[in-house]
Structure formats: structure tokens, C-alpha cells
């Protein structure tokens, strides 16, 4: 029994607070709450002491087996067999000894893949048990699933924190990160290059991950594929807990030369490079372009991250044009601008007569329209939860079912998704499926806000002036220096989209051949004065002025030291998003310092 409880430790720990809360209101009610494993073995019991005493007589105790093959029809076994909530009343039980009991049970599912982890049952002698107990069992199982999801997300965040802080060790290596269950979490571009060089793709990692699950570690090294060496595998440990596994493929001449051959055209960018059409030469944009070039050649879903207005669709077009699907269609769809039913019809299409008002002959959806090309889904975080399962199925199987049809249609589509939401938080709150998130997040591209690459503002402003002049057939105008200063001083909460709108409005409304301070909108007129005339900050009498960036760097280092390198807690301590913290850590070169200090 100890071994069994240890094997289901996460399930029991997630259920204990829920069951402890139930113990208080089940007291003196004549009922008890029971947690089982997926085979129907009871792991934990809470509830009214009198009910637990009566339950002992019929083996409602830890260690007892209540699946249907052993005990016939009963709430636990029938719920596990059917995968649905169930209530078995009195004589409906198969065994004579429990015909005085009424039991309600609901299965507990893995929030990642939907597999059954166990069951939560509420049992009581007939008369003490009421119809509300089934709803209570369903609600309790849902709370346990939410707690499991939160724990899993926190564990994966710690896994990514540790691998991120050690990233300098593997800067040239092909890196694949698996969680403790062997599920693929992240892979870098070099890993894709290696797999391409040996004639494989990243799907091979799904089979490999199953061998690297914690419970199968003792057999993993004896059953590795021929292309993989045992010393490439490294466990990720924190406080004696194994969070996951890293596959670090060392660079070699064979796949490095393959990489040069594959990406050699980027050594000297030409006008044919789609990413060269993106305006901006700052360091952060250059990094984003470089990563985009590499991701474009890997046939994987890409998740574009960043606040609204940073140019995610522009990068999506570049990914499409630089990839293997460039000759196919590019089909965009905004998931946040439609109702659930309309979005389902737009994505998957519908058959003739599927609903009132359906077109004669039906309609192809965006998946079919993008066949052989790219489907760009903006605001993916807005997709209704019930549609996410269907969307994931298309990604996994490459088959789409029109609404109202039972015949699958084969599609070959590269999906690029974009969001300004923190999808990890959405998963933790049950608003986004964990399995879909990790299917999309294997390859991510984070785009910086405009305030992080202000040096690109003059070039962007001139580009939008030219674009407005061509589009609306108005004279091209130059920009005064004081206008540029105001543009540089403004915070740009709407990012590049807001800059474009401002420049477009100024260009169309300007009376002369130049854009002057008089043409600036009201929100920008005071920006340069307040920002540019501010006195430098002094610390101590006669101290040398300290730049804000220096203070920020010191604050981040201090927070990392206080939290012992846990970046999740560091971000919370500083009151910023973890993605923002990652960018600042990279910008200030802190990762090497932290790695040396905390010996990651």
C-alpha cells in the first residue's frame, strides 16, 4: 500500500486539501469521501467517522479493490469503466453486502492528456446519501484536476527556469527538454537541424520521451535508439526532485555543416530574405529575425508571443514566405472576433444543411483553404475551450471534419499562432488546454514591445510616412527633429500599430511638406518635455548619476539572490511577467553571473 500511495503521490497530495475540506461538512452526515487509483484501488478515505466504521465492514478502506471485475456494478468501478459520473443506488449494486449503500463517483482526468488518473467517490448508507452528492463528487474531482494542473505548470516553470539559467552550457548544442513524464516541453533550432541531418523529425521525441519518464528510467538506457548516446541524456534535479530530462546533442561537423548548408543564405542577407523586409535593426529585433529565419525552415507549429501591436502578423508572413510552404496560401484568422459557433464554421467548414442558413453545397473552412500553406491564428488565447480539443485533433492527425459531416478530409497545414496573453496563466486557470499549449509552444518566438527597441522608431516612422503617401496618394513628407524626439520619448502602449496610426494621421492631416510638432496628437505633445528634461537620479551626496538600467540590473540580481535563482518567484517578487524577466536577464548578461553564483 505504501508503494501504491508513493506511485500516486501527486494525485493524493492534490486530493488531500479537497477531501479535508469535505471532511468538515461531511461530519455527522453519515457519508464518506473516497479516492481511488485508475484501477479502482482505494488510496485515501475521509468523512464521517460513523460512515468510515460502517464502510470498514464492506471493505471501503485503503487497499480494497472496487473495479467491476472484482466487485460488480458499483459507483467507483462503473465510473472508471464508463469514464462518466455515475450514481449507484442501493439495490443497483451487484454485491449483496453493499445494497444498503448509495454511492456517487466521478473520474479524475489528467489535465494534460485526458487519461483517467483515478476516481472520487461519495458513499453513504441509503437515507443519509442525497442526490446532491453526485454534484459534489463532480465538483471535487474538478478541483483536484485544477490543483494537478497548477502543480504541473509550476513544475514545468521550474524546469524551464533551470534550463534557461544553464543555457550558456548548451549554446551550440541541439537541446530538447522533457518533463518528468517524458513529454516534450521545448526544443531549440539546433535540435531540429540535427534531426534533419540524420533523416528524422521532432516527432521521434515523442517515442523517446516515453522511455525517459521517471518511472521508466531504469530501462531507458538499455533501450535507446541507435542515433542517441547515453551521455547526451542529463536529469534536471531540484531539491532531490527530478523535474525532467534534457537531451543535449553536442555539435559535430556532420550536422553543423548541414546547418551551414541549410541556413547559409542568411550569412549575407539579400533582398530576397523575407525577414529583411521587416523594418528594424536594433539588437532585439535582429535576434527575433534570426530566430525566425531558423524556425521558418522547421515544419513545426510556431507560437508568436508579445503584447498587442508588436507586429506578430508581419513576422507570421515572413515565417511563411521563408519556409517550405511559401508557394502555398497564407490564411489569417482572428480567433477573438467571432462567436464560438461562427469560429467553428470558419475553422472547420460545414456541410450542406448543417444549420439554418448554411450555404448550398457547404463551405470549406480555413484549414482546407490553407492546405499546402500556412494558417495564421491570431489571438489564439481567445479560442473557446470546447473548440480547442477539435483544433488539437486536427494538429495531431492532419484531418478535419466539417461541421455536420462524418467524413474526414486530409489537410497539410503549418499553423502559426499568436497571442498577447500569458497562456501559462490561462492553463493554470483552466481557460486553455494544457495539451494544446505544449503542442503549440514547442517553438516560440517572442517579439519585443516598441519601448525595448526605440532606436527603430525613426526608421519605422519614415516607412509609415512612405506607406501612407503611396496608399492615399498624398505628398510624401519629411519629419522634423523635434517630432522624432517626441516619438522617442513616448511610451507607446499600443506599440508599432499605435505608431503607424499616429504617423498615418499626421501625414494625412499635415498642411505643409514637413511633419512638425504642431501635427503631433495631444498625447505626445508633453512626452518629450517631461522625459527629456528630467534631472538625472542621484544616490547619496555628491554621488555619480546612476542610470535607470543600472538600478534595474542591480534589483534583478538582488532578487535572484534572495530567491536562490528561482525565476518564477523572482518575477513575482519584482512584479513583472516572467517573459519580461527573461528578456531583461538576457539583456543585462545576468544568466552567467547567476549560473556561477548558484552553481546551476
Same domain, 80 and 198: no
Our measurement of the distance from residue 374's CA atom to the centroid of its chain's CA atoms, rounded to an integer in Å, reads: 20
At 125, is the secondary structure helix, strand, or coil? Answer: strand
Partners of 248 in the β-ladder: 175
pLDDT of residue 62: 93
What would the grid cell of residue 295 be?
Answer: 524556425
Q: Which of 151, 112, 135 is nearest to 14 (CA)?
A: 151
pLDDT of residue 167: 66
Q: pLDDT tens digits, residue range 321-367?
A: 998 888 899 999 988 767 788 888 889 888 887 776 667 778 888 99
| Residue 267 forms part of a structural domain | no
Same domain, 552 and 425: no
The values of phi and psi at residue 89, to 5°, are: -105, 125
What would the grid cell of residue 102 be?
Answer: 448509495
CA distance 487 to 503: 10
CA distance 558 to 547: 17
Q: For the chain, what's the residue count?
A: 600
Same domain, 7 and 86: yes
- Tell me if 104 sits within 8 A of 79, measured CB to CB: no
Q: Which of 463, 477, 481, 549 is nearest to 507 (CA)?
A: 477
Q: pLDDT tens digits, residue range 128-155?
A: 666 688 888 999 999 999 889 888 888 8
pLDDT of residue 377: 93
Same domain, 442 and 455: no
What would the grid cell of residue 547 be?
Answer: 542610470
| Residue 542 forms part of a structural domain | no
pLDDT of residue 438: 83
CA distance 410 to 372: 11
CATH number of the domain encompassing residue 214 = 3.30.450
Our measurement of the distance from residue 464's CA atom to the centroid of its chain's CA atoms, rounded to an integer in Å, reads: 33
Same domain, 229 and 291: no
Exposure on the CB side of residue 544, measured as CA atoms within 13 A: 4
Contacts of 516 (CB under 8 A, 6+ apart): 480, 482, 483, 510
Same domain, 350 and 429: yes
Q: Which domain holds residue 426?
A: 276-446
Partners of 179 in the β-ladder: 244
Q: Domain tally for the chain?
A: 5
pTM for this prediction: 0.55
Weakly modelled stretches of the chain, pLDDT under 50? 220, 253-271, 527-546, 592, 595-596, 598-600
pLDDT of residue 255: 46
pLDDT of residue 600: 42
Amino acid at each position: 500500500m505504501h508503494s501504491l500511495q508513493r506511485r500516486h503521490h501527486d494525485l493524493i497530495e492534490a486530493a488531500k486539501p479537497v477531501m479535508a475540506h469535505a471532511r468538515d461538512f461531511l461530519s455527522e452526515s453519515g457519508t464518506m469521501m473516497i479516492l481511488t487509483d485508475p484501477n479502482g484501488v482505494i488510496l485515501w478515505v475521509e468523512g464521517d467517522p460513523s460512515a468510515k466504521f460502517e464502510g470498514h465492514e464492506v471493505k471501503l478502506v485503503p487497499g480494497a479493490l472496487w473495479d467491476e471485475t472484482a466487485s460488480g456494478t458499483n459507483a467507483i468501478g462503473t465510473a472508471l469503466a464508463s469514464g462518466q459520473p455515475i450514481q449507484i443506488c442501493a439495490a443497483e449494486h451487484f454485491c449483496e453486502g453493499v445494497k444498503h449503500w448509495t454511492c456517487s463517483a466521478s473520474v479524475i482526468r489528467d489535465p494534460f492528456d485526458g487519461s483517467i488518473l483515478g476516481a472520487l467517490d461519495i458513499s453513504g448508507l441509503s437515507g443519509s446519501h442525497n442526490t446532491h452528492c453526485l454534484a459534489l463528487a463532480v465538483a471535487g474531482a474538478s478541483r483536484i484536476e485544477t490543483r494537478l494542473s497548477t502543480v504541473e505548470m509550476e513544475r514545468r516553470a521550474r524546469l524551464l527556469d533551470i534550463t534557461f539559467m544553464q543555457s550558456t552550457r548548451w549554446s551550440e548544442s541541439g537541446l530538447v527538454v522533457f518533463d518528468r513524464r517524458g513529454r516534450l516541453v521545448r526544443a531549440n533550432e539546433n535540435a531540429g537541424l540535427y534531426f534533419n541531418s540524420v533523416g528524422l523529425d521532432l516527432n521521434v521525441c515523442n517515442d523517446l520521451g516515453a522511455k525517459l519518464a521517471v518511472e521508466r528510467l531504469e530501462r531507458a538506457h538499455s533501450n535507446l535508439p541507435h542515433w542517441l548516446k547515453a551521455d547526451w541524456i542529463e536529469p534536471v534535479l531540484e531539491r532531490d526532485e527530478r523535474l525532467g530530462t534534457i537531451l543535449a546533442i553536442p555539435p559535430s561537423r556532420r550536422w553543423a555543416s548541414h546547418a551551414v548548408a541549410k541556413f547559409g543564405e542568411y550569412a549575407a542577407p539579400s533582398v530576397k530574405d523575407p525577414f529583411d523586409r521587416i523594418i528594424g535593426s536594433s539588437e532585439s529585433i535582429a535576434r527575433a529575425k534570426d530566430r525566425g529565419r531558423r524556425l521558418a525552415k522547421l515544419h513545426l507549429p510556431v507560437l508568436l508571443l508579445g503584447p498587442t501591436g508588436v507586429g506578430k502578423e508581419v513576422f507570421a508572413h515572413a515565417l511563411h514566405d521563408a519556409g517550405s510552404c511559401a508557394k502555398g496560401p497564407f490564411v489569417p484568422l482572428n480567433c477573438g472576433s467571432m462567436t464560438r459557433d461562427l469560429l467553428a464554421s470558419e475553422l472547420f467548414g460545414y456541410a450542406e444543411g448543417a444549420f439554418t442558413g448554411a450555404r448550398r453545397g457547404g463551405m470549406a473552412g480555413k484549414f482546407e483553404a490553407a492546405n499546402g500553406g500556412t494558417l495564421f491564428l491570431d489571438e489564439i488565447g481567445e479560442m473557446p475551450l470546447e473548440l480547442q480539443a477539435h483544433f488539437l485533433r486536427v494538429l495531431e492527425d492532419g484531418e478535419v471534419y466539417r461541421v455536420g459531416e462524418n467524413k474526414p478530409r486530409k489537410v497539410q497545414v503549418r499553423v502559426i499562432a499568436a497571442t498577447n496573453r500569458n497562456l501559462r496563466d490561462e492553463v493554470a486557470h483552466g481557460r486553455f488546454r494544457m495539451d494544446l499549449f505544449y503542442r503549440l509552444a514547442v517553438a516560440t518566438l517572442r517579439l519585443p514591445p516598441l519601448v525595448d527597441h526605440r532606436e527603430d522608431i525613426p526608421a519605422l516612422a519614415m516607412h509609415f510616412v512612405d506607406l501612407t503617401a503611396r496608399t492615399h496618394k498624398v505628398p510624401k513628407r519629411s519629419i522634423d527633429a523635434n517630432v522624432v524626439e517626441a516619438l522617442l520619448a513616448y511610451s507607446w502602449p499600443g506599440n508599432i500599430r499605435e505608431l503607424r496610426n499616429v504617423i498615418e494621421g499626421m501625414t494625412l492631416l499635415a498642411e505643409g511638406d514637413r511633419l512638425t510638432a504642431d501635427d503631433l496628437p495631444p498625447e505626445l505633445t508633453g512626452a518629450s518635455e517631461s522625459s527629456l528634461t528630467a534631472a538625472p537620479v542621484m544616490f547619496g551626496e555628491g554621488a555619480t548619476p546612476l542610470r535607470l538600467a543600472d538600478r534595474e540590473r542591480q534589483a534583478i540580481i538582488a532578487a535572484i539572490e534572495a530567491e536562490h535563482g528561482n525565476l518564477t518567484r523572482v518575477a513575482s517578487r519584482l512584479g513583472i511577467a516572467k517573459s519580461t524577466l527573461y528578456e531583461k536577464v538576457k539583456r543585462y548578461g545576468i544568466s552567467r553571473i547567476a549560473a556561477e553564483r548558484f552553481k546551476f
